[in-house]
């Protein structure tokens, strides 16, 4: 395979047809005619397909063995040529003085840490599925608008779909972020991540890294970067814009605010949840407004932020607290009609240290499970209660079921989301040894995981 990602078989076809990457061509196959632009394939593409970008914006893979002829229509600039950093460009989130040349030395510095996910993926034209393909550098290079926002140092931390992320990966990411912050080189840290468990990782970093001097922004994509409907570029541009221009530090998640491309939302790392499988506005803040909305070159901070615990960015690196350890022996059990109460016994037998029960409504569970709960508590297992409802808070003093659960030793977690509760319990047991300290920390507001008032739009 050559340096531009094309195999010998494809290079020979290009040479024979007198075409190159970036050319507009007409391709005749055994049963169809296609017109489009020849574009590079990712590093792991097989040797039997070329990629054509159609006028519609979609890319297709064409099997080489079915090609009868390739005719050049017009010659284009080689798409592998990287843009000059000193150029005039009016990007979507345009900064002030967009019509003037800018100097890279005057721009802030960002660290871009890639962990994998759809934002770092492309279509595999052999299978038709999405596969991991882009490194952090390739992701950065694919979005020339970023060169106007910051000097970006891209780096791969790991390359995993987010369903493969484990607590040990949270520790790895947290340590890497902390090291980059302590270097004093950066004005913000961007972490690209798969969307399915991004809200778990944002919660993990919120607890593992406290008193942050600069913002950490996690960003993902619902659709791979080579699709015309991809949200990857604008999400990353929005994340970088916030990381360089917001005066607040903390952990955030930057994703589309609506299905349109007009606004990017930055959510608080412990108050965000993925609520849709495929929409670009899949992420929502729970019981709070998004911390900020990024509209072109303007960042709007929520009027609610004054009720939350946030500090302004600063240069005091010594105040940052790094506690990156997580204990995986914590369970999240969702109650449902017909729930087998022996699941609680099973967690006890596995040696788990805590159970997060996701109860109904205000935080209830069938009374048939009370003996299992009592047994678990007597054996030193701490049981916390959250609600299956997305919005609202637990209330175990309203009905007799809730009062009975309190008497058994179940600890309610107000409006902390179930996912954040799981992560926080893993973090507590990874960093504290005394049960009293774990309970005190779990019920204390560390990183805005609790909010004082409920807001539902």
Q: Which listed residue (91, 196, 231, 287) is catalytic?
A: 196
Q: Which listed residue (122, 187, 195, 394) is catalytic?
A: 195
Report yes or no: 363 and 394 within 8 Å, Cβ to Cβ. Answer: yes
Residue spans of beta strands (DSSP E) within 171-329: 188-192, 209-210, 215-219, 250-256, 263-268, 272-274, 283-285, 292-295, 298-301, 321-322
Q: Is 112 exposed, middle or buried (0-12, 13-18, 19+ CB in 10 A)?
A: buried
306 is known as an active-site residue: no
187 is known as an active-site residue: no
Report yes or no: 204 and 330 within 8 Å, Cβ to Cβ. Answer: no
H/E element holding 423? helix 418-431
How far apart (Å, rounded) are the C-alpha atoms in residues 277 and 448? 26
90 is known as an active-site residue: no
Q: What is the DSSP letter of 364?
A: B
Report yes or no: 426 and 418 within 8 Å, Cβ to Cβ. Answer: no
Q: Which listed residue (23, 91, 118, 241) is catalytic?
A: 118
Q: Which listed residue (23, 115, 241, 274) is catalytic?
A: 274
127 is known as an active-site residue: no
Provide Rg for the chain, Cα atoms.
25
Q: Per-residue DSSP letters for 318-360? A: GG-EE-------EEEEE--TT--THHHHHHHHTT-SEEEEEEB
CA distances from 360 to 310, 363, 394 (A): 32, 5, 9
Report yes or no: 221 and 232 within 8 Å, Cβ to Cβ. Answer: yes
Active-site residue list: 118, 195-196, 274
């Amino acid at each position: 395979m050559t340096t531009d990602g094309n195999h010998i078989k494809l290079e020979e076809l290009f040479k024979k047809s007198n075409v190159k990457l970036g050319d507009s061509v007409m391709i005749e196959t055994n049963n169809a005619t296609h017109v489009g632009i020849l574009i590079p394939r990712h590093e792991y593409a097989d040797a039997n397909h070329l990629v054509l970008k159609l006028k519609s914006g979609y890319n297709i893979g064409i099997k080489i063995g079915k090609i009868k002829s390739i005719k050049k229509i017009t010659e284009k600039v080689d798409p592998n040529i990287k843009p000059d950093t000193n150029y005039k460009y009016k990007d979507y989130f345009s900064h002030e003085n967009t019509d003037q040349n800018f100097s890279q030395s005057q721009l802030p510095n960002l660290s871009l840490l890639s962990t994998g996910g759809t934002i770092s993926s492309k279509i595999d034209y052999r299978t038709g599925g999405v596969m991991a393909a882009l490194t952090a550098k390739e992701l950065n290079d694919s979005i020339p608008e970023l060169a106007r926002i910051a000097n970006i140092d891209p780096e791969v931390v790991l390359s995993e779909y987010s369903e493969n992320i484990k607590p040990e990966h949270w520790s790895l990411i947290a340590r890497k972020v902390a090291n980059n912050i302590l270097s004093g080189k950066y004005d913000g840290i961007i972490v690209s991540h798969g969307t399915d468990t991004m809200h778990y990782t944002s919660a993990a970093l919120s607890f593992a890294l406290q008193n942050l001097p600069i913002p950490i922004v996690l960003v993902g994509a619902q659709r791979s970067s080579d699709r015309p409907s991809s949200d990857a570029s604008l999400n990353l541009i929005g994340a970088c814009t916030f990381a360089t221009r917001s005066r607040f530090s903390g952990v955030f998640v930057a994703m589309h605010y609506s299905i349109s491309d007009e606004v990017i939302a930055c959510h608080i790392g412990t108050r965000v949840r993925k609520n849709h499988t495929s929409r670009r506005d899949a992420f929502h803040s729970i019981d709070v407004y998004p911390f900020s909305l990024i509209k072109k070159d303007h960042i709007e901070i929520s009027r609610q932020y004054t009720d939350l615990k946030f500090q302004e960015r600063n240069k005091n690196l010594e105040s940052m607290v790094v506690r990156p350890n997580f204990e995986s022996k914590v369970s999240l059990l969702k109650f449902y009609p017909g729930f087998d109460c022996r699941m609680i016994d099973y967690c006890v037998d596995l040696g788990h240290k805590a159970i997060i029960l996701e109860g109904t409504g205000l935080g209830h569970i069938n009374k048939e499970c009370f003996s299992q709960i009592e047994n678990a508590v007597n054996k030193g297992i701490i049981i916390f209660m959250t609600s299956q409802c997305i919005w609202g808070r637990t209330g175990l003093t309203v009905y007799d079921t809730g009062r009975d659960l309190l008497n058994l030793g179940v600890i309610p977690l107000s409006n902390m989301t179930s996912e954040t509760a799981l992560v926080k319990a893993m973090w507590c047991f990874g960093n504290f040894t005394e049960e009293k300290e774990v309970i005190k920390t779990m019920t204390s507001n560390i990183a805005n995981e609790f909010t004082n008032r409920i807001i539902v739009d």
